[in-house]
Amino acid sequence: MPKFSANISLLFAELAYLDRFQAAAEAGFEAVEILFPYEIAARETRRALVANGLKLVLINAPPPNYAGGQPGFAAVPGEEARFQRDITRVMRYVEQLRPGMVHIMAGYEQGAQAQQTFVRNLQWAADHAPSQQFTIEPLNPGDQPGYFLNDYDLAADVLDLVDRPNVGLQYDTYHAEVIHGDALKVWERFHSRAVHVQIGAAPDRSEPGRGMMDFPALFQAFDDAGYSGWVSAEYKPSKPRTVDTLGWRPAN
């Protein structure tokens, strides 16, 4: 059975940030992911991880633009120097937080030039930090209009062009279902590229068990494919208390 982690940017959001680590551990999770851990000193997050015996699976890059800019620009032509500065900043957090994965967000641009820019930036990041695993994730155009990486076939093309062993696919059941209509078929086609998995139900990105997606079949497919990485619960709980939405987890 897959090993599950909790995205504490979405789960346990009824609690203060630093309290979510203990809540995740008490709920039986051994690892967490954090979308943007940049608002608080890295040492505080690291202390909370260690105190609760948790591994950090993933963070997003780049840091948010607190002046109101778009969250991500790796595919935006003309932003290459900014991308390199921000990845360098991210790596300072990585040194302290030690996440297994860093998800590089493509940003909002379209066309061949955007793809070329995205590929070059990913290659730069991979070569700049060869010991760090990076991911890219297709996001559905309903939630993220204009986002460059909006299709799994496009993600496969980008990965082929990047051609770096430390850049892989981040597969998300919610986005896969919304984009292509069948998350299980998407997994069957692209699982060999997947280095990280996230789960959430369509159509509302709530916990598994809501909607029409067959999560037991997906969990079995992860096992059948030999996937041994983390499967992160990245959903918006349908109830005020996150612990009341965890019934989807299979019994050990």
Active-site residue, from 33, 109, 137, 207: 137
**Could you tell me where the DSSP H helices lie in 98-214?**
112-128, 152-162, 173-180, 183-190
Amino acid at 29: F
Query: Catalytic: 80?
Result: no
DSSP letter at 165?
T
The CA distance from 136 to 125, in Å, is 12
Specify whether the CB–CB gap between 158 and 177 falls below 8 A: no
Active-site residue, from 33, 177, 207, 234: 234
Q: Which residues of 109-128 are buried (b: 16+ CB within 10 A; e: fewer)?
A: beeeebbebbbbbbeebbee
Query: Catalytic: 95?
Result: no
Active-site residue list = 137, 234
